Structures are given as C-alpha cells and as structure tokens.
C-alpha cells in the first residue's frame, strides 16, 4: 500500500497548499491512505472543526496534532465526536478525544495511527510516550491485527525521536517526526523494517520563521520585549511530507522518500512514483 504523510499545516497559506495539491497527489499516485498534521492550521495555533472537515474533504484520512491541539478551545468539544481527529495519546486519562485509532484505507487495509508527544524540551510535560506506545502495541500486532502501523511522534529532540523509532522497530510501519517545521534529510528504513524520518517539515510559508511572520520572532530575539502576537505568514506555502510504500505481506516499510512541492525549498518527489 502507498501512504502519504504531510507535515504541520500552518495557517491559511498551508491550508491552501494542502487543499489544492492533496486531491491530485492521491489520484495521480494511487495513495491508499493520507495523514495530515493540522495542529497549526488555525492562524498557526490549533485547529477548528471547520478546518478539520475541510482537510478530510480534501482527502486526508486522519488529522494528527501536537502541543497546540487545544489552542482553539472548541477542539475540547469536537475532539470527542470526531473519530478521525487525534490528539497526543500520552495525555492523562480523562483528556477529551482519542490518541489513536484504526482506520480503513482505500485498498481495504487496516491502518493503526497513533499520535504521541515527546517530553524533552516540550510543554506540557505529558506521560511517558514509550510506555503509551507499548500499551498500544500490546493491544494489537502488525501483520495480524493491523496491516499498517504509523506513529506521529511530535517532539523537539531528534534523539528522543530516533530512540523511539528504534523502540518500535519491526513493530511499526512508519515513525514520522513532527513539530520543528524543518524537514530533515535522514529518511531511512531501520533494520527491523520500520520507516523513519526525524521531521517531515511543515506545509507553510518558508520565507519567514517556521511559517509565522518573521518580524515579531526577530523582535523578541533582539529586544526580549514582545510587541505583538505571532501571526501566520501569508506567502505561498511549500508542501512538505513523506511518501511510503508498505508491504502488503508484512506491513513493514519497503520504500520511503520525502516530498517537497512549492517555492523556497528544492522540490523533490519519489523517483518510484
């Protein structure tokens, strides 16, 4: 099966890029399952239910999030009823919504998607993501209960991300790092067959600061005095993500390649598409 994961969608610019390009990517390249991280979609801070619905209508099968999941307070309400909206699974018991789900892909495959958040240099400090993942994997096995297992590991430290991927190697199809908004060049397949990338980057305007207008972040570095709030940049966005081919027999990763479409960054597409 073919899976597409798109990185953090930032503001209107990022949404526009996803909505315009995702349907064609799915159709042209026979994508069986698409995941979009949408935690910065509403002006850079959280996601609304309307944005969630629009993203699903564009072809996403699941939306994952991260530390900004509750920035839009309405998410605390719609998280309970929207099964294809995931917040980090290692929030404490009783938190609204769900951190994982099992979904049917276009080819009929059973896809388990889990959203976890790291703890190094991250706020809030959630429960142990390694323990949470182990608990999830105890509930079902790749190749028996699931045809594909994907973890969105939303974290700052690359060491925490790569160690987590080693922890689930051979038990997951793919571990995708999100959060830093900067694509890394380390996409690989581990010895046990798990695909990995430290960060897929963002779907946003790379002409500013991580998808936000550069003036206020720059001001705070220079003066340490806030003059205003961060605002999502509005220039043309670059779509960043990763494409993966999963074995129908084992559920493990057979191919992985980055995707970058748009201005500023060097464009790249999988050679095997």
Cβ neighbors of 62 (< 8 A, separation 6 or more) are 34, 35, 36, 84, 85, 86, 101, 103, 113
Q: How far apart are CA 62 and CA 35, in angstroms?
A: 5
Distances (CA, A) of 252 to 35, 130, 145: 17, 20, 14
Q: How far apart are CA 172 and CA 151, in angstroms?
A: 8
Question: Which residue out of 29, 30, 68, 187 is catalytically annotated?
Answer: 68
Is residue 77 within a helix (H) or strand (E), and if so which, with residue range?
A: helix 75-81
**Catalytic status, residue 187:** no
28 is in an annotated binding site: no
208 is in an annotated binding site: no
Q: Residue 157 corresponds to which tokens in the numbers above?
A: 């430290």
152 is in an annotated binding site: no
Q: How far apart are CA 110 and CA 15, in angstroms?
A: 27
Classify residue 210 by its DSSP letter: T
What residues form DSSP beta bridges with 33? 3
181 is in an annotated binding site: yes
179 is in an annotated binding site: yes
Binding-site positions: 8, 39-40, 67, 154, 179, 181
Q: Per the annotation, where are the binding residues for Fe cation?
A: 8, 39-40, 67, 154, 179, 181
Catalytic residue set: 68
């Amino acid at each position: 099966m073919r899976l597409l994961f798109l990185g953090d969608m930032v503001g209107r610019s990022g949404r526009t890029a996803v909505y315009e390009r995702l349907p064609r990517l799915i159709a042209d390249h026979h994508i069986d399952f698409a995941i979009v991280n949408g935690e910065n979609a509403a002006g850079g801070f959280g996601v609304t239910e309307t944005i969630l619905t629009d993203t699903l209508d564009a072809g996403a099968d699941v939306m994952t999030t991260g530390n900004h999941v509750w920035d839009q307070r309405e998410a605390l309400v719609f998280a309970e009823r929207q099964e294809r909206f995931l917040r980090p699974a290692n929030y404490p018991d009783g938190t609204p919504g769900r951190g994982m789900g099992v979904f049917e892909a276009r080819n009929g495959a059973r896809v388990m998607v889990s959203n976890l958040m790291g703890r190094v240099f991250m706020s809030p400090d959630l429960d142990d993501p390694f323990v949470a993942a182990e608990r999830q994997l105890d509930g079902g096995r790749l190749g028996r209960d699931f045809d594909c297992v994907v973890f969105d590991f939303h974290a700052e430290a690359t060491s925490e991300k790569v160690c987590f991927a080693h922890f689930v190697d051979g038990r997951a199809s793919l571990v995708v790092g999100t959060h830093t908004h900067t694509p890394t060049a380390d996409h690989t397949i581990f010895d046990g067959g798990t695909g990995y990338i430290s960060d897929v980057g963002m779907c946003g305007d790379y002409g500013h600061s991580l998808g936000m207008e550069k003036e206020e972040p720059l001001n705070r570095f220079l003066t340490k005095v806030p003059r205003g709030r961060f605002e999502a940049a509005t220039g043309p966005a670059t779509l960043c993500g990763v494409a993966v081919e999963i074995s129908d027999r084992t559920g493990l990763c057979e191919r992985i390649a980055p995707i970058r479409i748009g201005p500023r960054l060097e464009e790249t597409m999988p050679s095997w598409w």
